[in-house]
Chain A
């Protein structure tokens, strides 16, 4: 007969736990279905020189970072100094994806604030961004030497995120490929 009271109580507690945990989850964070899958390929004009195409294929064989940004994006301004600091470490190349931006404004931004990018691809139409499942800049992807997406960070990059989420994965990816790259 005790069961009659215990079972509903347990159900209630379980439901309560689910709802409580749900309170602290950010609905704006949408996990990327790309993680563990091959990174979408792209060949786009370089921001600085439209005659020089940037191709994702050239980046194979080393871990690299894709950072989606635009001059219209406040969070991108916020993370810019962090990107510069990360670039100064020279761990991996940071490739910029300039998303639906004005070419002149973007170049001016890099000239004024400093350029953390090894190369910047210009995605004026926003099609590459869609292929990568981008929905809100800034977004930062980590791609392994085999071209597999290892991690995605949505929101301005911080040193904390870089040290905690990116660096260990970069080291692991390098160890897996024999420490070559």
Chain B
């Protein structure tokens, strides 16, 4: 029994404890915890373009290191989060953002859930109304015959 679960327990421990060891950017960039928090939050939103499925906070690619340095310098220079994001978008395009913004190209994608909900609602409404009409006629037949 114990041996059967040992592997699972070890794996769980590794996953729980190993997380810390996997942090790439271990040294704090700012002494001020507020600035440090902003720095980490922005890094987690920016894509590392050489290692596309990682953020620049996750990656130790040279480009990610350089981009973290840019973010740190911009925060230190008093730039707002939006200004930092715009800086990155001007250079790397919207793809650099992990939380994409709405624009003319992807408008349909953003609108799709609402549109689909409206279409589904309209179809549902029609089906229910038709069934209700049919039901109105049907039950009244036998019911009407009763005393």
Contact = CB atoms under 8 A, between A and B. Distances in A.
Given A28-B52, A130-B66, 5 more contacts: A33-B93, A133-B93, A135-B63, A136-B49, A136-B50
Q: Could you say which interface size class chain A belongs to?
A: 10 to 19
Nearest to A72: B62
Q: Could you say which interface size class chain B belongs to?
A: 10 to 19
Interface stretch (B10-18, B26-34, B84-92, B129-137): B84-92
B49 A135 contact: yes
B25 interface: no
A132 B52 contact: no
B60 to A, nearest CB: 14
- The residue in A130, A131, A132, A136 that gathers the most chain B C-beta atoms within 10 A of its C-beta is A130
Interface in B39-75: 49-50, 52, 62-63, 66-67, 70
Contact of A135 (B50, B70, B89, B90): B50
Contact of B93 (A27, A30, A130): A30
Please name the 9 residue pairs, one residue from A and one from B, whose CB atoms are nearest each other, closest first.
A135-B49, A133-B91, A33-B93, A126-B66, A133-B92, A30-B95, A136-B50, A135-B50, A135-B63
B144 to A, nearest CB: 31
A131 B88 CA distance: 9
30 contacts: A27-B52, A28-B52, A30-B49, A30-B95, A31-B93, A32-B93, A33-B90, A33-B91, A34-B91, A100-B62, A125-B66, A126-B62, A126-B63, A126-B66, A127-B66, A127-B70, A129-B66, A130-B66, A130-B67, A130-B70, A132-B91, A133-B91, A133-B92, A133-B93, A135-B49, A135-B50, A135-B92, A136-B49, A136-B50, A136-B63
